[in-house]
Amino acid sequence: MAGTETCESKKRKHEEDNEDKAISVLQTFKLVKVLKEDTAKKFVAVEGRIPSESGTGDEDGNNKAVLLLEKKPFAVDSIEDLLNSGNTKLTFVNDCYSNYQLSSSKPLHDIKVSLINPATEKHIMKFMEQECFIIHETAEIHKTITLPVIEKQRLAVEWVYNILDKKAEVDKVVFEDPDPENGFMLVPDMKWNGTEIESLYLVVLVHKRSLKCIRDLDQSHLPLLKNILKQCPRIIFEKYGLPPCKLRMYCHYEPSYYHFHVHINNIKFDCPGREFLRAYSLSDIIDNIEMKNNYYQEKTLSILVAENSLLYKELKSAGHI
């Protein structure tokens, strides 16, 4: 018994040390440039440098890093607290209209910070404001241009394998179906804080590692897709009380990460990436494959290509742009 306790407390101490380390890393961040800013969404993505611990950084010993900062939504049930929580200055008044500047010390004004360290050029590109073009990707373009580019330059999916292997986010897993063919893990997306139902966002990661994206899907994957479509809404309703008719379930094409996954979010949530050019509804995917086995191998798919990407360069030199 005493041995178990010592083991537990050692584990806790180790976790606390890791947390302290992760927090102090954030404090060493030096800003290089703004990659993208969205004042309406109160979001900014910046590139910076962080001293490398492994000695793998640049000549100054720094890693490239990407930092994403986003103001969190208001907690409506604390509005009265907020109004009484700090310095209030009147900035405008006319008839029944008035504006105030309220500086609150309440956590209502917390900021969600995401750090990618070390960040690759691909990460930096992903968050950089860029000119984008629509390309109609035929099966032939996919085979001869897109696939070789993906092979050369895709973002690592270590974070996915860490979840599937239970090395990361272990305490966050909402549900697991362990079947290697038709099973999956359901976890909160890192974009979501896990509490506000208005912005509910989960991601389904399939166990089958050979599946990369919707282009790989055919009728042999229908049991997997139907399993996700059937189980996830039920689990989400049981855990979060949000009914199936309030859920958006879709895949991205092209995705950023080539391990097959499904996005699930609250239809109320105005989340990035739900726009028609990238989002393919899971139920439509199932229907299309049921009608035609090789639908996604043959279909021309519209994709958004960023000007600074290798894909853009290759498509341009092949005369597709």
| CA–CA distance, 51 with 260 (Å, rounded to integer) | 34
CB of 257 to ligand M7G, least distance (A): 4
3-state secondary structure of 281: strand
| CA–CA distance, 204 with 183 (Å, rounded to integer) | 10
Q: Please answer whether residues 172 and 190 qualify as being in contact, where contact means their C-beta atoms are separated by less than 8 angstroms.
A: no
Pick the stretch among 79-87, 105-113, 215-223, 252-260 that binds ligand M7G (CB under 6 A). 252-260
Which of positions 265-294 make contact with ligand M7G (CB under 6 A)?
A: 273
Which of positions 195-214 make contact with ligand M7G (CB under 6 A)?
A: 203
| CA–CA distance, 58 with 103 (Å, rounded to integer) | 40
Q: Please answer whether residues 118 and 67 qualify as being in contact, where contact means their C-beta atoms are separated by less than 8 angstroms.
A: no
Q: Is 57 among the residues that bind ligand M7G (CB under 6 A)?
A: no
Listing DSSP states for 63-75 in one string gives EEEEEEEEEPPP-
Pick the stretch among 29-37, 86-94, 233-241, 251-259 that binds ligand M7G (CB under 6 A). 251-259
CB of 128 to ligand M7G, least distance (A): 13
Q: Is 87 among the residues that bind ligand M7G (CB under 6 A)?
A: no
CB of 126 to ligand M7G, least distance (A): 7
Residue 123 known to be catalytic: no
Number of residues binding to ligand M7G, judged by CB under 6 A: 13
Taken as a whole, the chain contains a residue count of 321
Pick the stretch among 35-43, 142-150, 183-191, 221-229 that binds ligand M7G (CB under 6 A). 183-191
CB of 282 to ligand M7G, least distance (A): 13
Pick the stretch among 57-65, 83-91, 186-194, 217-225 that binds ligand M7G (CB under 6 A). 186-194
| CA–CA distance, 137 with 300 (Å, rounded to integer) | 5
Listing DSSP states for 165-209 in one string gives TTSSSGGG--EEE--TTT-EEEEE-TTS-SS-GGG-EEEEEES-T
Q: Which of 142, 252, 261, 263 is catalytic?
A: 261
Q: Is 306 among the residues that bind ligand M7G (CB under 6 A)?
A: no
Pick the stretch among 49-57, 232-240, 249-257, 312-320 that binds ligand M7G (CB under 6 A). 249-257
**Which residue, 265, 188, 186, 196, is CA-closest to 227?**
186
- 3-state DSSP helix/strand/coil % of the chain, to nearest 5: 40, 30, 35
Q: Is 189 among the residues that bind ligand M7G (CB under 6 A)?
A: yes
Which lies closer to ligand M7G via its Cβ, residue 233 or residue 255?
A: 255
**Which residues, 6 or more positions from 168, have their beta carbon under 8 angstroms from its beta carbon?**
159, 162
| CA–CA distance, 70 with 79 (Å, rounded to integer) | 20
Identify the residue among 219, 256, 283, 302 touching ligand M7G (CB under 6 A): 256
Q: Is 114 among the residues that bind ligand M7G (CB under 6 A)?
A: no
Which of positions 137-176 make contact with ligand M7G (CB under 6 A)?
A: 159, 169
Identify the residue among 64, 142, 191, 215 touching ligand M7G (CB under 6 A): 191
**Could you give the dihedral angle defined by the CA atoms of residues 160, 166, 169 and 175, in that order, rounded to the nearest 10 degrees?**
90
**Residue for token pair 């590139």:** 47
Q: Is 73 among the residues that bind ligand M7G (CB under 6 A)?
A: no
Which lies closer to ligand M7G via its Cβ, residue 142 or residue 263?
A: 263
Q: Please answer whether residues 266 and 199 qualify as being in contact, where contact means their C-beta atoms are separated by less than 8 angstroms.
A: yes
- Paired with 88 in beta bridges are 102
CB of 76 to ligand M7G, least distance (A): 25
Q: Would you tell me which residues interact with ligand M7G (CB under 6 A)?
A: 159, 169, 187, 189-191, 203, 252, 255-257, 263, 273
**Residues forming the active site:** 261
